[in-house]
Structure 1
Amino acid sequence: MMALMLCILAIAAGAAIAIQAAMNAQLGVLLNSAMFATGVAFLTSLTLVTAVLVFTSKSYPSVGVITNVPWYLWLAGVFSAFGVSCFYYLIPKMGLGSMMSFALSGQIVVAMLASHLGWFNLPVKALDGSRLLGTALLIGGVILVNWDSRSGY
């Protein structure tokens, strides 16, 4: 039952990302700046997360814990800013479905590689025939989702 709930939550998270990406892409169009829309999205997120932390957290990490975090983990926000700003820039040009299908492909390929190699202390899940077949089918699906029967891909 718990596994099903986690799957439903993951699907809801994906849906939330698609909705917010479409909304913020439109914001970027109306403001004539995908980067400004990215800034608004991160400022809103920061405000909400800060409020939740202030009102719900009973303890915070100590300075010792914070200083023991590997330096490169503090750079995750760079990838977030790049990815989110690309979404807001590309959605008005490609459409939401196309952008999300290509983005999902990139996410899955990198996630499988990260899991195979155990990056960031992830549980190791070796690439095998079924995972490689799934990746090939995913890429085929992206081609079909984006296929324009009038002009080809």
Structure 2
Amino acid sequence: MNSLSLIAFFSGAAIAAQAGLNAQLGVWLKNPFLATVVAFAASLMVIGLSVLVTTREYPSWEAVRAVPWYLWFSGGVLSAFAISMFYFLIPKMGIGQMMAFALSGQLLMAVIASHFGWFDMPQKPLTPSRWLGIVALLVGVILINKE
């Protein structure tokens, strides 16, 4: 396991922790969407500061104008939907069950997107071993959620 794999692993752990904490905030506030607004506001502050500290060169106006129109909002809309659903579902399902289903959805979408080379990413066709991984993932979700 290289350092990038470790960073990815701990990033995944952070997603589960923040989802649990912000779902709890949603319960306290009696509104998972309000918890999402709070989480996004805190994220904006942290990332805004990170951009100010680390960015040495900003894109030109021409480069900004060349970005396809849908990229300006589609990721944010999907993020708002997914994150607010995390905060809504975790108190009802439990964090383990919710994250198992969410991770399954993420991995299946990633495998499909990778197979077709969507989002201008490298194309990695579905192989027998990748199919086996999908089956193992689904079996894992069933086992995690078995009562």
**Smaller-chain TM-score range?**
over 0.9
In 2, Cα distance between the equivalents of 1:92 and 1:54? 36
Q: Counterpart in 1 of 2:42?
A: 44
Paired residue secondary structure (2:2):
helix
Show the counterpart of 1:72: 70
Distance apart, 1:55 and its partner CA:
2.4
The one-letter amino acid of 1:9's match is I
Normalised by the length of structure 1, the TM-score is: 0.93
What does 1:101-112 correspond to in 2, within 5 Å? 101-112=100-111
Q: 2:18 aligns with which of 17, 20, 37?
A: 20
- Give distance in 1, aligned partners of 2:123 and 2:80: 27
Aligned residue in 2 for 1:125: 124
- How many Å separate the matches in 1 of 2:48 and 2:13? 23
Amino acid at match of 1:83: A
Amino acid at match of 2:87: Y
Counterpart of 1:151?
none
User: How much has 1:5 moved relative to structure 2?
Assistant: 0.3
Percent identity of paired positions between Structure 1 and Structure 2: 52
Residues 1:4 and 2:17 are matched in the alignment:
no
Measured after TM superposition, the shift of residue 56 of structure 1 is: 2.4
The letter of the residue matching 2:39 is A
The offset of 1:52, in angstroms, is: 1.4
- Residue number in structure 1 paired with 2:138: 139
Q: Which amino acid is the alignment partner of residue 62 of structure 1?
A: S
**Aligned with 1:85: secondary structure?**
helix
User: Which structure ranks higher in relative contact order (CA pairs < 8 Å, sequence separation ≥ 6)?
Assistant: 2
Residue 77 of structure 2 aligns to a residue whose secondary structure is helix
Runs of 5+ unmatched residues, structure 1: 149-153
Which stretches of structure 1, 4 residues or longer, exceed 2 Å deviation after superposition? none
CA distances 1:118-147 after superposition (whole Å, capped 9, x unpaired) = 111110000111111110110011001000
Opposite residue 108 of structure 1, the aligned amino acid is L
Distance 1:112 1:56 in 2: 32
